[in-house]
């Protein structure tokens, strides 16, 4: 039963890798950045190292934006471009007001 449930997903992942290995690796890196940032935030609340985490987060969003563009996914591209824009402004404000 487990094989029946997960086989289509595993095949989809393999196909995604075979189709565009570079994009697949970039998406995995962006995912690792996202999870890593969230993990560090969880461990360091209430005083997370935002000046370190914010640029890393923005870089991960840039990677996701490129992946969305290469997939021709307008919704994801628009989302990540907006996140990069808003978070870059937030980072700039944080640096200016520090």
Q: How far apart are CA 51 and CA 97, in angstroms?
A: 12
- In the chain, how many domains are there? 1
In this predicted structure, the answer to whether residue 43 has a pLDDT above a threshold of 90 is yes
**The pLDDT value given to residue 79:** 98
**The pLDDT value given to residue 3:** 76
Question: How much of the chain exceeds pLDDT 70, in percent?
Answer: 99
Residue 56 structural domain = 21-96
In this predicted structure, the answer to whether residue 42 has a pLDDT above a threshold of 90 is yes
**The pLDDT value given to residue 66:** 98
Whether 3 maps to a domain, the answer reads no
In this predicted structure, the answer to whether residue 58 has a pLDDT above a threshold of 90 is yes
**The pLDDT value given to residue 4:** 81
């Amino acid at each position: 039963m487990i094989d029946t449930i997960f086989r289509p997903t595993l095949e989809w992942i393999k196909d995604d890798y075979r189709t565009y290995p570079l994009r697949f690796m970039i998406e995995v890196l962006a995912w690792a950045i996202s999870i890593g940032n969230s993990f560090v935030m969880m461990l360091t609340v209430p005083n997370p190292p935002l000046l370190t985490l914010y640029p890393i987060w923005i870089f991960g969003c840039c990677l996701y934006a490129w992946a969305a563009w290469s997939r021709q996914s307008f919704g994801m591209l628009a989302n990540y471009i907006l996140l990069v824009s808003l978070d870059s402004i937030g980072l700039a404000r944080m640096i200016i007001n520090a």
